[in-house]
Amino acid sequence: MNPQAPTTGEKTGNVRWIICGLLFFSVAVNYLDRLVISILKKPLSGQLGWTDNDYGTIAAAFSFAYAFGYLLGGRFIDKLGVKRGLPLFVFLWSLSAMAHGLVSQLDHAAEFRMQYPWFSRAEGGFILATLAMPMTAAGFMFARIALGLTEGANFPAAIKVVAEWFPVKERALATGCFNAGTNVGAVLCPIAVPWMFSHIGWEWTFYITGGTGFLWLIGWWFFYDEPREHKRVKQAEIDYIRGDQPVEEAKKVKVPWLALLRYRAVWAYVLASIFASPAWTFYQFFLPDFLDKKFSLSLEATGWWTGAFYALAAIGGVAGGWLAAKFIRAGWDINRARKTALLICALSVVPVFFAPFAGSVWLAVFIVGLAGSAHQGWSANMFTVVSDTMPKEAISSVIGLGGFVGYFTGGFINKFTGMIVQETGSYVWVFAYFSLMYLLSLGLLHLLVPRIQKETRALPMPEPLTES
């Protein structure tokens, strides 16, 4: 978390890496709060009478809400700034996470029913369909909606902080470092949650894990500030941060929301988010269930093997960012370095197709862990492609737009996954789908952005679609 920066004369200082540490822990808390339900799916389904389809609806509700939270949160962070905006969202999502425990107060025998419009080919138009589920499942669904809406701002805010605190050559590494917090939270969750469940019950498990966000708020309050206003930052470090950033990037640029859609880099990021990003939501919500159904594991064993998956995935986030940084230090241009790192990640995902056919749990976890590690490395570099091509003032909005379409797509995939598993008991087709989506996304990126050039970042915005 504290790589030695190159220096000229006076040491630059490492306050920026402490800031990266704050982002690391915010992401860890974020993932701890969202993953508790996936670890407790089996006992909650048994106690509260949920089906796989009900659980798919709960997972889909979170993904849809997270999509809007990502979109609106990114825009909100751009307007309010990360210093005030990020802690506000952490406070709200911590309350939402704790609210899951209040579902225990609902009538476990009651049923929730809601009508919604649905297009029917048989009827030749829209009809009123009915969503029916246990009241407890509905309680979790609404708690997950609140959690998704508030957690969505975390990553747009973190990417904006990296753009403000790090030089271009360190951004992928810094992104990989803070993004590794997803895996630390994810490793702690499957190990700690089964123990908490068996000793204090599922209600207090949600209360305690949700409350960890308030501890992070204390650290942010006392330590964070913008680089030029931070009391512990030396001028040498500020000069180092700004050293390879064009002057235009520090200027205020007003970017209308719809204007973002005029640019190739935005479309490349959006399409990659549609095809590749939903894989991570699938792992979050369905990996423990896949391991349990495939190998008939206990809750504790499922937790440990899920933790092993996230431990493997943690390697990829840092390694993917480090790899691109190494290529750049070796003299490669940004275009070659980023796309080569993305290609390595995309190829590493392909073997995930074979996970449902693994003969042992360790082999299945290794195969899926390799894909998860590649996904994290992919994410670190895709996030950085945005900061490479867009002005600082638009970064959170673009990341938010990509997150919106990615998680909105993931909502449908979560719902369809629940339906497929309930009908077939198999995850084969889902793994097959994701095995090729990264290569497709990289092809689209290269088609839309044939060359990421350093010179383009000196412009207020990248080249529009209408220009050759």
pLDDT at 456 over 60: no
pLDDT at 413 over 50: yes
pLDDT at 182 over 70: yes
Q: Helices 299-329 and 181-223 meet at what angle, rounded to 10? A: 70
Tens digits of per-residue pLDDT, 376-395? Answer: 889 888 888 887 877 766 77
Tens digits of per-residue pLDDT, 51-110? Answer: 888 898 898 899 899 888 877 887 788 788 888 899 999 999 999 999 999 998 888 888
Tens digits of per-residue pLDDT, 246-273? Answer: 544 444 455 666 777 888 888 999 999 9
Note the pLDDT of residue 119.
60
**For residue 422, which phi and psi values (nearest 5 degrees)?**
-65, -35
d(CA 236, CA 100): 47
Average pLDDT over residues 272-284: 90
d(CA 376, CA 159): 14
Burial 299-313 (b: 16+ CB within 10 A, else e): beebbbbbbbbbbbb
Domain boundaries, the chain: 15-458
Note the pLDDT of residue 120.
64
Q: Residue 453: count other Cβ atoms within 10 Å of its Cβ.
A: 16
- Looking at the whole model, is its pTM more than 0.75? no
pLDDT at 8 over 70: no
Taking the domain 15-458, which CATH number applies?
A: 1.20.1250.20
d(CA 392, CA 160): 7
Note the pLDDT of residue 118.
67
Q: Tell me which residue of 277, 285, 187, 271 sits closest to 443, measured CA to CA.
A: 271
Tens digits of per-residue pLDDT, 296-307? Answer: 888 888 888 988
pLDDT at 326 over 70: yes
